Structure 1
Amino acid sequence: MSTAEVPSRAELVQRIAEIAPVIRANAEWSVENRRQHEETVKALTDAGVFRMRVPRRYGGYESDARTMVAVADEIAQLDGATAWVVACSWIATWGLGLFPDAVQDEVFADPDVRVCTTIGPGSATAVPVDGGVVVNGMWPCISGALSGGYQQIVAIVLDPAGEPYPIMSPVALADLEITDDWYTTGFRASESVGTAARDLFIPTGRYLPASMVATSQSVSKLGTGSPMYQPPFISASAASIVGICVGMAKSLRDLFLERLPGRKITYTDYAAMSEAPVTHMRVAEAALKIDEAEFHAQRVAATVDDKAAANEPWEMWERARCRADVGAAMRLSLSAADIFAGASGGSSVYTRVPIQRIVNDLRAHSLHALMTPDVNAEIYGRVLCGLEPNTTFV
């Protein structure tokens, strides 16, 4: 074990800027092949992004929420699916930091390990046997599985002596079956395949009740006291992913403005699109929506970091607002994307112009259960009205 020098937020963002040509050059290949190009994965690994939520004692950085938002934003400006794979690994490695030290010793033997995860059990069940449980079932849409080393699985324990309950455990992807079924209209490069366990034995001591992970209850003897583990699981996850939609919206803004010089508005007398008041109105409206989306992303990060630094208990409205902020950032990013895409003209439908690909990726991203604007807003509204949130994922 070793403790690596922890790079600053600015240094990590600069590292992404330096590998930007690699990510951009491989983006279309990744879409066509429905996985991240190995050059992209190596560049991200060398930049240290997979270490950001790994405990420092293993050479990780234990990066804060503001850093995750900044780095996810920067990667998403290059390719949203790449940022999603990275953020999913952040969520998984964070959760693994709550596990017994022996489990962490194995998984984090390589501090650059890539871990994919799910927070739902799919069809997986765990039957108690001597010394552990046997897991059978499958999990759909596991992002990052094709380039990952481990998956954090969830399964429902079917205990004849008590009520069923979910557990979580890291499993080597080599021990799981993969179904390459991710044929989609968006986020094609996110490596979101199906995985399955067949009579997989998991020993006692290698799994935790999911409720412990959700409430940041650590059983680690060496990792106690880190501010990174103070926030609830869903709030920490919200900070991991919220920068992605903002970065994707920014990429559309930049592409639109890059293509603007020399463009005209067909069937009008404007000599240049940039001279038309309708263009000014569209650009201003979309840019302000991106600013608003960034506000919500930064508020999630500030809430997570400030509560962690103060080591204060979380109020339910704060937890619900984190989800609401994620939904608001997504809604505003989508709205800005629609404006830029709608003003990009018929030429933007060609695959050589990435505008429609980015819009499709953003729409696919918005369909994830933790990103859906209306559902997230409803949860927050219920809490503000004095009701229970109607979900355990808060």
Structure 2
Amino acid sequence: MSTEIPTREQLVRRISELRPSLRDKAGWAEENRRLHDDTIDALADAGVFKLRTPKRYGGFEADTATLLDVAAEMGRADGSTAWTAAVYWIPTWMASQFPDEVQDEVFSTPDVRVCGTLSPTAMATPADGGVVINGKWGFISGAHHAHWQEVIAVLVGGEGEPYPIMALVPMSDLLIVDDWHTSGLKGTGSVSTVAKEVFVPQERIMPLPAMLQGQYSSVRNADAPIYRAPLLPVASASSVGSVLGMGNAAKEFFLKRLPNRKITYTAYESQREAPLTHLQVASASLKLDAAEFHGKRLTSLVDTKSVDGTSWKLEERAQARADMGAVCALVKEAVDIFSTASGGSSIYTDVLMQRIQRDVQAVNLHALMHPDTNTELYGRVLCGLEPNTLYF
């Protein structure tokens, strides 16, 4: 593949060409609870894993508007594929904030995949030259195909009060617990991982509060626009495209079936002739339009402020999370309408609509994506109160 950085349109076109094969492998992914190796290879060939990698390592340093469009195109094919790719983008971006010598190690692997979490469910203790970590992390999407994991642990036993740290750990140092038995996003392979007496050198450690407040350690990335924004707005903007894609997939699938479906026990030989259907399709479509508005407002905010380098207002940071929550809520409402209008035949497991509905439901239950949590945070800030979380 050419070393020239592809345009957004070229990247979307590559994924569009992959849609049949991605959808074909989605059933295997559901059954085996992880993405197919062929899917990972296809995404790598398309450049998906280079989008948030620094240019000096062959990456594209793509803005979040590009992430939205690429993820939306993947989501039209398969929700689990889009979700996993989007999850890789976030810790890859985080790895780009570590000291430059650490990046040299991480990005020495072509198409490196970094998984991770923001939950501090492990403990770390000081050791000569670093820390020793013990603990377990859940919901680690893409762990089976990752090379590194970004982990969070609470450092205890040193000077001062305990505090959370972020560390980069090779997957070879961790144990994978195959516990991903779920109703939605089955193909993401979001298993648990375990650290048992894992030593992490000091250079691969950053204080989590510093990362959340934009106090990064990289010198060579300091002037690159995509690495200037705060973590949570970046994570929010990286996530919404996959959800929009799922919503668009539901609409496309519904309209494709529509002409040949009658409404049983009524006089309608074609569902598309019923006024009820017109209301359902229009209502759901307007919700998808509104979701797209929030997604694009979010990516525009992140990308604009990244380029001009202006500081983030508290309200803007809260709005970023609120926009992400709005995308999730509106897409779920739209998919629920399409699903309700799809009839009894849609409950069969080989019908795409039920998988989309389950995947969208799973996204809406995610702690960071949850619409209610994000809306409450935004309202709290609008009312003049301080955020009651570090994650904004």
Task: Normalising by structure 2, report the TM-score.
Answer: 0.98
1:278-332, Cα deviation, whole Å (9 max, x unpaired): 0001000000100000000000000001111111000010000010001111111
Note if 1:78 corresponds to 2:77.
Answer: yes
1:336 maps to which of 334, 337, 344:
334
- CA deviation after TM superposition for structure 1 residue 215, in Å: 2.3
- CA deviation after TM superposition for structure 1 residue 178, in Å: 0.7
- CA deviation after TM superposition for structure 1 residue 206, in Å: 1.4
Q: How does 1:241-390 map to 2 (within 5 A)?
A: 241-390=239-388
Note if 1:8 corresponds to 2:11.
Answer: no
Q: How does 1:87-102 map to 2 (within 5 A)?
A: 87-102=86-101
1:134 maps to which of 126, 129, 132:
132
2-side partners of 1:33 and 1:98: how far apart? Answer: 34
Whichever residue aligns with residue 31 of structure 1, its letter is E
Is the 1:12–1:71 contact (alpha carbons within 8 Å) kept by the matching residues of 2?
yes
Whichever residue aligns with residue 353 of structure 1, its letter is V
1-side partners of 2:175 and 2:158: how far apart? Answer: 28
- CA deviation after TM superposition for structure 1 residue 357, in Å: 1.0
2-side partners of 1:310 and 1:138: how far apart? Answer: 39
2-side partners of 1:226 and 1:111: how far apart? Answer: 21
1-side partners of 2:61 and 2:142: how far apart? Answer: 21
Q: Which residue of 1 aligns with 2:230?
A: 232
Note if 1:46 corresponds to 2:45.
Answer: yes
Is the 1:54–1:111 contact (alpha carbons within 8 Å) kept by the matching residues of 2?
no
1:166 maps to which of 150, 164, 167:
164
Whichever residue aligns with residue 124 of structure 2, its letter is A
SS of 1:141's equivalent in the other structure is strand
2-side partners of 1:217 and 1:293: how far apart? Answer: 31
Whichever residue aligns with residue 109 of structure 1, its letter is S
Is the 1:328–1:373 contact (alpha carbons within 8 Å) kept by the matching residues of 2?
yes
2-side partners of 1:389 and 1:307: how far apart? Answer: 21
Task: Normalising by structure 1, report the TM-score.
Answer: 0.98
Q: Could you tell which deviates more after superposition, 46-55 or 206-215?
A: 206-215
2-side partners of 1:29 and 1:144: how far apart? Answer: 15
Is the 1:296–1:328 contact (alpha carbons within 8 Å) kept by the matching residues of 2?
yes
Whichever residue aligns with residue 52 of structure 2, its letter is R
Is the 2:166–2:205 contact (alpha carbons within 8 Å) kept by the matching residues of 1?
yes
| Count, aligned residues | 391
Q: Which residue of 1 aligns with 2:204?
A: 206
SS of 1:86's equivalent in the other structure is helix
Instruction: Call closer, same or farther: CA 1:214–1:111 in 2, change over 3 Å.
Output: farther
- CA deviation after TM superposition for structure 1 residue 217, in Å: 2.1
2:215 maps to which of 214, 217, 231:
217
- CA deviation after TM superposition for structure 1 residue 4, in Å: 4.0
Is the 1:9–1:67 contact (alpha carbons within 8 Å) kept by the matching residues of 2?
yes
2-side partners of 1:157 and 1:65: how far apart? Answer: 32
2-side partners of 1:234 and 1:144: how far apart? Answer: 20
Instruction: Give structure 2 stretches of 5+ with no counterpart.
Output: none
Is the 2:246–2:360 contact (alpha carbons within 8 Å) kept by the matching residues of 1?
yes
What is the alpha-carbon root mean square deviation over aligned residues? 1.1
Whichever residue aligns with residue 49 of structure 1, its letter is V
SS of 1:223's equivalent in the other structure is coil
1:91-147, Cα deviation, whole Å (9 max, x unpaired): 01100111111111111012411110101112x111001111110011011110011
- CA deviation after TM superposition for structure 1 residue 160, in Å: 4.0
1:31-79, Cα deviation, whole Å (9 max, x unpaired): 0000000110000000001110011110011100100111111101111
- CA deviation after TM superposition for structure 1 residue 216, in Å: 2.6
1-side partners of 2:270 and 2:103: how far apart? Answer: 59
Q: Could you tell which deviates more after superposition, 259-268 or 39-48?
A: 259-268
2-side partners of 1:190 and 1:282: how far apart? Answer: 30
1-side partners of 2:35 and 2:188: how far apart? Answer: 7
Is the 1:22–1:39 contact (alpha carbons within 8 Å) kept by the matching residues of 2?
no
Whichever residue aligns with residue 55 of structure 1, its letter is P
SS of 1:205's equivalent in the other structure is helix
1-side partners of 2:219 and 2:228: how far apart? Answer: 16
Q: Which residue of 2 aligns with 1:150?
A: 148
Is the 1:76–1:82 contact (alpha carbons within 8 Å) kept by the matching residues of 2?
yes
Q: Could you tell which deviates more after superposition, 4-13 or 86-95?
A: 4-13
1-side partners of 2:236 and 2:286: how far apart? Answer: 22
2-side partners of 1:33 and 1:118: how far apart? Answer: 22
1-side partners of 2:303 and 2:358: how far apart? Answer: 32
Is the 2:123–2:134 contact (alpha carbons within 8 Å) kept by the matching residues of 1?
yes
SS of 2:324's equivalent in the other structure is helix
Is the 2:149–2:169 contact (alpha carbons within 8 Å) kept by the matching residues of 1?
yes
SS of 1:77's equivalent in the other structure is helix
Q: How does 1:88-127 map to 2 (within 5 A)?
A: 88-122=87-121, 124-127=122-125
Whichever residue aligns with residue 165 of structure 1, its letter is Y
2-side partners of 1:143 and 1:366: how far apart? Answer: 16
SS of 2:77's equivalent in the other structure is coil
Is the 1:4–1:61 contact (alpha carbons within 8 Å) kept by the matching residues of 2?
no
Q: Which residue of 1 aligns with 2:174?
A: 176
Q: Which residue of 2 aligns with 1:17?
A: 16
SS of 1:112's equivalent in the other structure is coil
Whichever residue aligns with residue 284 of structure 2, its letter is A
Is the 1:300–1:326 contact (alpha carbons within 8 Å) kept by the matching residues of 2?
yes
